[in-house]
Structure formats: structure tokens, C-alpha cells
Chains A and B, each alone.
Chain A
Amino acid sequence: MNTLIAISGLGVLCLLFEIFNFRKAIVPVTIIGLLAILGLTYAEFNAPASFYNNMIVVSKFSAVFSALFIVLTVFLIALSHDFYEDHQTKISDFIAIKIFMLAGAVAMVSFGNLAMFFLGIEVLSISLYILAASNRLNVKSNEAGMKYFLMGSFASGIILFGICFIYGAMGSFDVAEITEWSRSAELPIWFPIGITLVTIGMLFKIAAVPFHFWAPDVYEGSPTLTTTTMSTLVKVVAIATLYKLLTAMNADLSDTYINIIIVISIASMTVGNIMALKQNNVKRMLAFSGISHAGFMLMTLLNISNSAGNLLYYTTAYSLSGIAAFAVILYVCKNKNNEDIANFNGLGKNNPLMAAVLTASLLSMAGIPIFAGFFAKMFLFTQTIEAGYLIVVIAAVINSIISVGYYFKLILAMYNKEANEEATKTPFVLYAVAIVSILLNIVLGLFPSVVLDLLG
């Protein structure tokens, strides 16, 4: 709870800084503030509690994921400094929106009442609509924002509809009460319908097939930093929320429900990977890659009762490598008007360090040891096999193979092609973010227990 309040306060502080003309201090102060809040979250981790009539329930799960979101936001905000160089007047707005988005995200994993859940998801979504469309002179950005908005609000309608049915069945929005009743009484059919509809809405948010269509377009059109946000923070938030929703309200999923998850999971992996093969735009490619990773993350739902640790590990690994990759992409495409793979030609010579970081992050996403991505997949496979869904694992493995095809396309471009132009100077922050995130990724690979054991 304190986390949420502090984050909201920090957002307001950002706006105040602009008013008082401390523009230069916004980024550092925000980062420091977020790090402080991280400490606050740590305190909450050890003291699970519920606040304000169960509106906010802080559990280990929520605390850990909140911490992850905060870390990711720190990275994102650090990257903002360079990204918004040319938009100095608006920087406070951007930062504030991101902070509020974080607030929404935290609300989404620590809700104790569906009202908080709904508001959280809306805060997050609306922030994203804005960020996606934020480059207002760019037609692509406009289009991305519009598409995202149209489909997103449609999905919100679905979620709302679902919540409505849940309410109809239970007469309450309180998660604890719903959980209790869902175990005991015979339920009207409204309840599963509601759950299904909410799930569908969340599947849209994590961009699972067939609700994924928005993702590539929006990722491609949005400003790169927004894409970074979407592909790391937002995806993680959405899957964590979905996980929490399902664990909270429907402890044992029916077989048919599981079948649907399996189908969607396999379809997401397959479509995402296959589609990514022939993309020229890196952002678009990573969008499809994100879709396939969504499929992987959905595998955690197959063994929902004890896969929280794996989910956390997978999302951490994925988002850290995503941050690292995007940091490099930001660097490479800084002064270009597109993000074609051709821009990466010769990066291996021009800037070996950045190239190495990107390579490492791509290898992590592809699931090559010793990066965290490998262990993430490994743990996931282990648990899925234990749960008896070998077929999903086989599909996942085949997809991992396909995914190498496009991840390596980028690596090939970096090392096997001649550079088009001279190397440019790399801003320090980009270096720092890229290296820190990839190092975290590797450390996570070497000591997986650190994260894995947080949620048992």
C-alpha cells in the first residue's frame, strides 16, 4: 500500500518539479525516489497485509512483482533522459505518466478488489495510449496510438463485462470473498463466463494469439521507448495480473479451460515466432517475439498452483534482456527514421560492446545457456512436464528452434555485414542501462535461486 501511495506521490512530485522549474532534476530524483520505493517494497515483502477494506492486499507475490516493475521503470526512466532530449518541455509529463503507469501496474498486482484491478488496468492502458501516440507529428505514432486505443478500449469493455458477470454471480467485488464463495457454493454460470471474459481481456493485454494483432503494429509505430515499455513492463504486468486473477479466483482450473490455455499458448508461440522470421523492422520483430514469449509465459498457468516462482523468473529474465536489447536499439536507431535491421549492419565493428550486449540479450531470449532466458525456459519446461503437458513443451521446443532463426538474423547483421556509416558516440546512460541489465540477466542465470526462491 505504501508503495502505491509513494509512487502516486512521486508522480505528482514530477509534475511539481516542472512547475518549479527543476526540469534537470526530474530524472535523477525520480530514479532515486524509485529506488527508495524499492526499499519500501522490500519492507512490504516481509509484512504481508491488506489495507482499506481489502482494497489492496500486499502479498509476497505482489511485493516481488512490484519490485520488478519498479526496477524496470528505473531502467525506463533512465533511458528517458536521452530519448526525450528534443522534447525537454514535455519531459515531466512523460515521466509523470510513466510513474502513474507504474502505479497502475502495482495496483494490478496488489488489488484486493476488482475495482482496484479495473482502475489499475485502465491507468496502465490509458498511459500507454498516450505514450504510443506521443510523437504527435509522426503519422505512425498516431496510427499506433489510435489502433491501440481502439482495440484496448474494446478489450476494456470485455473485461468490464466479465467483471460485471463475476459481480452478478458473487454479489461482491472483494477477491477474498469471491475466492471463498467460489470454493463453496454451486455457482451460477455467470461466474465462469465472467472469468473467461476477464481472461480474454488480459490475454489481449499480453498479446496472445488471436488477440495479438495490435501488438506488432503498435510496437512498430510507437516511439521506441514506449515500445520498450510495452514489451517489457506492460507484458510482465499483464501476465502477472492474469496469474494473480486466476490464482485468486479460480484455484483449480477446469480441463476445458486448461485446453484453451494450451491452444492459445501453442498458437502464440507459433504465430509469434513464424511471423517474426520475415520482419525487417526490429521493433516489429521483437513484437512478434514478445507474442511468442507470451505463449511461453502462459505455460505457467498450466501448473498454476506452484508456478509463481517460475513466472517471476521468466518475466524477470525476459524483461531484463528486453531492456538491454532495446537500449541498444535506442542507441542504433537514435538518428534514424526507421528501425530496419540494416541499421545494425557492422555494429560488431563499430561498437563491439553494444553489439555484445545485444547479442547476449538475444541469446537470452532465444534460450541459450548461461543466460537467464535459458533457465527460465528450463524451469518452465520442468514444471510443465511435471504437470504432464509434454506436448506443450515439445511445441515450445520447436518454437525455440524457430526463434533462433530471427534472433540470429540480427546477430548476423551485426557481425557479418559491413557498416554503412561511422560509429557514433554512445551516451553513458545507454551504456549503463544496457550493461547493468544484461549483467543482471547473467547473474540471474548463474544464481537462479535468488529470484526463484522468492516465491517458492
Chain B
Amino acid sequence: MDVTTLLIILLVGTFATYFSGDKWAPKVALLVGITAFASAICLLNQYNLGNEISYTKLWIAKPKIYLAFQADGLALAMLLLTTALTPIIIFSSFGNTYKNSKAFYALIVFMSFAMSGTFLASDGLLYYIFWELALIPIYFIALIWGNGDAEERKKAVVKFFIYTLAGSLFMLIAFIYLQTKAGSFLISDLTQLKLSSTEQFWIFLAFFLAYAIKIPLIPFHTWQAKVYQKAPTVGTMLLSGIMLKMGLYSVIRWQLPIAPLAAKEYMYVFIGLGIAGVIYGSIVALRQKDLKKLLAYSSLAHVGLIAAGAYTLTLDGLRGAVLQMIAHGFVVVGLFFVAEIIYRRYETRKIAEMGGIRAQTPKFTSMFMLLVLASVALPSTFNFVGEFTVLFSLSQVNIWFAIFGGTTIILGAYYMLKMFQHVMLGETNTKLFADVTFNEGLTLVIIIAVLFFFGLYPKPIMTLITPSLENILTQINRFN
């Protein structure tokens, strides 16, 4: 099985979804998603058998651009995350009806395609193309199927698009510059470059702009909350579950190995920025009135920690970051789905208008609670594994980073429990809250199962990603 097969499945799936018509589109999309997941599993299997999973073909001769894909452990982990979340996300939307749903689902599948491509591409320009391509479907999803006032939505979404595009264009310049030095965009060439530290600094900065906006790190996060709020929940899930990870993945895959000197020299600054994001995001989340916005800020806090972990340039930091990326991907999708479940019943996202749901639906409450617990990184959840590793790596750099970064477990608990209390607890709500449907329950159960399984037994993922991360570390340390 070829690495491109998966991409082809998704691409063909996009068209298949679109042409299957409004009625069948959701099911076809789900099928495509599951097929993609299955093929990702096949790839994993091959990888575990020790096969090199790569594909390289010259695409454009001058400047040299290759159609190059390579799936190492890290890429596979992210690929699995993407392809696993895509069907979940699609499935989670079955409770809603969307006008022109064929386009809607086609865009979702296409986005999955683009994101998978981003994770797989091993040619800088190809990677950049996928990176940009992923932006377009989410733009339309948020714009057309979003909620709230059309004008405000437009403002938020356009800002998001322009902002992220702005960042990534500087990355393009960096890539082009690197290409003039290395002769090709292939990552294997780029990571062998011995650039001067000034060059590295600027290249690092250009990359940083792209990633800081995408991830997002403070103070580049201003697009996030509004877009999360305005986008349809499916879009929010795609954004927060997978797309944020593109930025973090890219930091590990591209930014650090290409410009390690700068990364080392300014390590404290970037870790500090990540941790500032943790504290800032948590504090802002405390007083949010809108459930989705609260989750957005919580996401900001979590990715801040992940980024800080990645910038430590230690194996632990990288590994923790990847683990936490995957964990956060699942948990955030689950939480947004919870918000959606509530919205389907109460048609509101204002926390003040909720409350007293627990008495009506114990099942839902338990699942929500479990997700909240995972989100606050209770030991035995996947998130704890990631958070522990990241914090440990931070403590290796400087104990104060661990202390300040660690405030996430306090503040995180604070805002999540506060939210849970106001959403679920209290006197029984007068409005009827129908119990979760089978579909909804199934979605949540899958997510929770994943979170707890890997929380107790993260080893498969660790063994999957560790060799690749060690490779990356050798690349990072090539100047020593």
C-alpha cells in the first residue's frame, strides 16, 4: 500500500461526496473517512513491519519541487489522529441537518485530505501547498454554515483567513530562501543546511509567524475565539482538533530542525511565550460567557503548553508535545461535541442560560464529566501522560517553567469545573433536556475510550513516535 493511496482516497472521496447528492453525502463522507482511517492503519502496519513509507517523484524541474511524501512515526501519529477524528467529526454531525450538505461534507473530506497531506509531505513547497489548501475549506465551512450574525461572522472569518495567510506567506518566503541555498525543498536537504545564525534567526522568525498564528500562541490568537464561536461545531472541531496540530507538528517537523541555532538561542523566549499563553488563556477562560469561547481559550492554554514543550528541544519535550497534541485533539473534539449536544437541545451557547442539566441526563453528565477530567489532565487520562511529559521536560530546562506551566492544572481545573458547575449542576432546569441519542453517545464513548486507553497504556504511541523524534533531535543537534 502506497502512501499516496490514502491521499487519493480522500481526494476522490471529496468528489464522491459532492456528487452523491445531499441525501447520501453524510454517509459517503463517513465511509470515506473510515476507509481513510483503515488505510492509515495499513500504513501503520507497514511501518511497524519496518518498511520505508515514502514516495518521491520530481514534479517541477526548476526550481526543484518534488512530489515527496514520507510517513515516519511522527507523521503517522498525526495521520492517525486526522483520519481517526475525521469520521468521528463527520459522525458527530449526523444529528444536524445542513443545507447543501453535499458541499459541506465534501469540504470536510477535502480538509481532511489537505491536513493529511500537510502531515505527510516531505517537500517544503508541497507541504506549504497542503498547508494553504487546508485553509480554504474551513473558511467556507465557517462562512457558509456558521452561526450568529452574518456580518460579524464574516468579519471574524475573514480576519482568520487573512491573518493565517499572512503568517504562512512569510513561511513561504523562508522556504524559497532555503531553496535557493539548498537547491531543493526536500526536508532531507533543508535539514542538512548549515546556515549562519543570523539567517537561522530570520528563518525561524518567519516560520514562527506562520505557526504562532496557526497554533495560536499569544498574542497572535485574537482570531481564535471568535472563529470557534462562529463556526459550525464541525468546523470548530476540525480547527481545534486537527488544524491547530498542523502548526505544532510543523514546529517539530520543520521549524526546529531547519533553524536549530535560533531555536536554542531564543529558547527561553519561546517557551516563555507558550507558558504565558497557558496562564493567559486560562485566566481569560475563567470569565467567558459563551461555552464555545471558553473552550477556545482553554484550547489556547493547552496549545501554549504543547508549544512550550516542543521548544524545549528535548526528547521529552517533543514527545510530550506530540502525545499532548493527540490527547488534546480528542478531548477538544469531545468537548465541542458536548457543547453541540447542549446546543441541539437548548439552542444556546450562553453558559448563563444553562444549568441544572445533570438531573435530567445522568449518562450525558458522566460522559461530560469524564471529558472535563481528561481536559484537566487527571492521571490515567491520555492528557495527563502528555502534560506530565511536557512539564517534566520544562522542569529540565528551568524549574520555574514547570511551576508556571504547571499552573495549568490549577487554573484549568478552576475554569473547567466552574463551567461544568454552571452548565450541568444546580437546580433542575425547567427546560427539557432529552437524553443523548445513540449516535451522540457512541461518539462520546469512542473518544472517552481512546482517552483512557492511551492514558493507561500510551506505550504504542510512544514507541511509534520516539524514533522519529530522535531523528529530529539529531538534526537539531547537528551544529554541536
| A421–chain B nearest beta-carbon distance, Å | 19
| Cβ-defined contact, A415 with B143, below 8 A | yes
| Cβ-defined contact, A374 with B129, below 8 A | yes
Residues of B within 8 A of A386 (CB): 180
| A194–chain B nearest beta-carbon distance, Å | 35
Q: Which of A368, A385, A401, A415 contacts B132 (CB 8 A)?
A: A368
Q: Is B162 an interface residue (CB 8 A)?
A: yes
| Cβ-defined contact, A369 with B129, below 8 A | yes
Q: Is B150 an interface residue (CB 8 A)?
A: yes
| Cβ-defined contact, B177 with A390, below 8 A | yes
| B358–chain A nearest beta-carbon distance, Å | 39
Known: A385-B180, A412-B154. A449 touches B162 (CB 8 A): no
| A312–chain B nearest beta-carbon distance, Å | 13
Q: Which of B62, B132, B162 contacts A369 (CB 8 A)?
A: B132
Name the residue of chain B whose CB is nearest to the CB of A306: B62
Q: List 19 A-B contacts (CB under 8 A).
A: A348-B144, A370-B129, A378-B125, A381-B172, A382-B176, A393-B173, A397-B173, A398-B166, A401-B165, A401-B169, A404-B161, A405-B158, A408-B158, A415-B140, A416-B144, A416-B150, A416-B154, A452-B60, A452-B62
List residues of B (120-153) whose CB comes within 8 Å of A's CBs.
125, 128-129, 132-133, 135-136, 140, 143-144, 150, 153
Q: Is A343 an interface residue (CB 8 A)?
A: no
Q: Complex Cα distance A417/B169, Å?
A: 29
Name the residue of chain B whose CB is nearest to the CB of A388: B180
| Cβ-defined contact, A397 with B172, below 8 A | yes
Tally inter-chain residue pairs, CB-CB below 8 A: 76
Q: Which of B63, B143, B169 contacts A379 (CB 8 A)?
A: B63
Q: Complex Cα distance A381/B169, Å?
A: 11
| B304–chain A nearest beta-carbon distance, Å | 25
Interface string of B54-86 (1 = CB under 8 A from A): 000001111100000000000000000000000
Q: Is A400 an interface residue (CB 8 A)?
A: yes
Q: Complex Cα distance A453/B136, Å?
A: 30
Q: Is A192 an interface residue (CB 8 A)?
A: no
| Cβ-defined contact, B162 with A378, below 8 A | no
Q: Which of B60, B140, B176, B177 contacts A448 (CB 8 A)?
A: B60
Residues of A within 8 A of B62 (CB): 452-453
Q: Is B388 an interface residue (CB 8 A)?
A: no
List residues of A (399-414) whose CB comes within 8 Å of B's CBs.
400-401, 404-405, 408, 412
| Cβ-defined contact, B158 with A385, below 8 A | no
Interface of A is mostly: helix
Name the residue of chain A whose CB is nearest to the CB of B144: A415
| Cβ-defined contact, B143 with A412, below 8 A | yes
Q: Complex Cα distance A222/B176, Å?
A: 40
Q: Complex Cα distance A382/B166, Å?
A: 18
List residues of A (419-456) whose CB comes within 8 Å of B's CBs.
448-449, 452-453
Residues of B within 8 A of A381 (CB): 172-173, 176
Interface bracket on A: 20 to 34
| Cβ-defined contact, B60 with A449, below 8 A | yes
Q: Complex Cα distance A330/B135, Å?
A: 29
Chain B count of residues within 8 A CB distance of the other chain: 32
Q: Is A363 an interface residue (CB 8 A)?
A: yes
Residues of B within 8 A of A375 (CB): 60
Name the residue of chain A whose CB is nearest to the CB of B178: A385
Q: Complex Cα distance A368/B162, Å?
A: 12
Q: Is B346 an interface residue (CB 8 A)?
A: no
Interface string of A360-371 (1 = CB under 8 A from B): 000100001110
Residues of B within 8 A of A368 (CB): 132, 135-136, 165
Q: Complex Cα distance A397/B133, Å?
A: 18
Residues of B within 8 A of A348 (CB): 144
Q: Complex Cα distance A198/B172, Å?
A: 35
Q: Complex Cα distance A401/B168, Å?
A: 10
Q: Is B179 an interface residue (CB 8 A)?
A: yes
Q: Is B170 an interface residue (CB 8 A)?
A: yes
Q: Is A394 an interface residue (CB 8 A)?
A: yes
Residues of A within 8 A of B125 (CB): 378
The winner among B60, B128, B144 for most chain A CB atoms within 10 A is B60
Residues of B within 8 A of A378 (CB): 125, 172, 176
Sample of 20 more A-B contacts, CB < 8 Å, known A368-B132, A397-B172, A415-B144: A363-B136, A368-B165, A369-B128, A381-B176, A382-B179, A385-B173, A385-B180, A397-B169, A397-B170, A397-B173, A401-B162, A405-B158, A405-B162, A408-B158, A412-B154, A415-B143, A416-B144, A449-B59, A452-B62, A453-B62
Residues of A within 8 A of B144 (CB): 348, 415-416
| B432–chain A nearest beta-carbon distance, Å | 34
Q: Complex Cα distance A417/B153, Å?
A: 12
| Cβ-defined contact, A404 with B165, below 8 A | yes
Residues of A within 8 A of B153 (CB): 416
Residues of B within 8 A of A401 (CB): 162, 165-166, 169
| Cβ-defined contact, A412 with B158, below 8 A | yes
Q: Complex Cα distance A408/B155, Å?
A: 11
Q: Which of A382, A394, A405, A452 contacts B180 (CB 8 A)?
A: A382
Interface string of B412-448 (1 = CB under 8 A from A): 0000000000000000000000000000000000000
List residues of A (315-349) whose CB comes within 8 Å of B's CBs.
348
Residues of A within 8 A of B135 (CB): 368
Residues of B within 8 A of A379 (CB): 63
Q: Complex Cα distance A386/B181, Å?
A: 9
Q: Complex Cα distance A390/B129, Å?
A: 21
Interface string of A239-278 (1 = CB under 8 A from B): 0000000000000000000000000000000000000000
Residues of A within 8 A of B128 (CB): 369
Q: Complex Cα distance A368/B173, Å?
A: 14
Q: Complex Cα distance A375/B62, Å?
A: 12
Q: Complex Cα distance A374/B65, Å?
A: 14
Q: Complex Cα distance A104/B310, Å?
A: 60
| B212–chain A nearest beta-carbon distance, Å | 16
| A363–chain B nearest beta-carbon distance, Å | 7
Q: Complex Cα distance A363/B135, Å?
A: 12
| A2–chain B nearest beta-carbon distance, Å | 31
The winner among A352, A370, A397, A449 for most chain B CB atoms within 10 A is A397
| A442–chain B nearest beta-carbon distance, Å | 13
Q: Complex Cα distance A341/B112, Å?
A: 32
Q: Complex Cα distance A379/B144, Å?
A: 33
| A390–chain B nearest beta-carbon distance, Å | 7
Residues of A within 8 A of B169 (CB): 397, 400-401
Q: Complex Cα distance A381/B179, Å?
A: 11
Q: Complex Cα distance A352/B18, Å?
A: 12
| A428–chain B nearest beta-carbon distance, Å | 22
| Cβ-defined contact, B176 with A408, below 8 A | no
User: 4 shortest A-B CB distances, which residue pairs?
Assistant: A369-B129, A401-B166, A397-B169, A369-B132
Name the residue of chain B whose CB is nearest to the CB of A394: B173
| Cβ-defined contact, A385 with B61, below 8 A | no
Name the residue of chain A whose CB is nearest to the CB of B180: A386
Q: Which of B132, B161, B172, B179 contacts A408 (CB 8 A)?
A: B161
Q: Complex Cα distance A401/B162, Å?
A: 6
| Cβ-defined contact, A453 with B61, below 8 A | yes
Q: Complex Cα distance A180/B188, Å?
A: 46
Residues of B within 8 A of A416 (CB): 143-144, 150, 153-154
Residues of B within 8 A of A404 (CB): 161-162, 165
| B373–chain A nearest beta-carbon distance, Å | 39
| Cβ-defined contact, B133 with A370, below 8 A | yes
Q: Complex Cα distance A375/B185, Å?
A: 14
Q: Complex Cα distance A448/B60, Å?
A: 7
Residues of B within 8 A of A453 (CB): 61-62
Residues of A within 8 A of B140 (CB): 415
Residues of A within 8 A of B154 (CB): 412, 416
Residues of B within 8 A of A374 (CB): 129, 132
| B104–chain A nearest beta-carbon distance, Å | 12
| B476–chain A nearest beta-carbon distance, Å | 25
Residues of A within 8 A of B180 (CB): 382, 385-386
Residues of A within 8 A of B158 (CB): 405, 408, 412
| B293–chain A nearest beta-carbon distance, Å | 22
Residues of A within 8 A of B165 (CB): 368, 400-401, 404
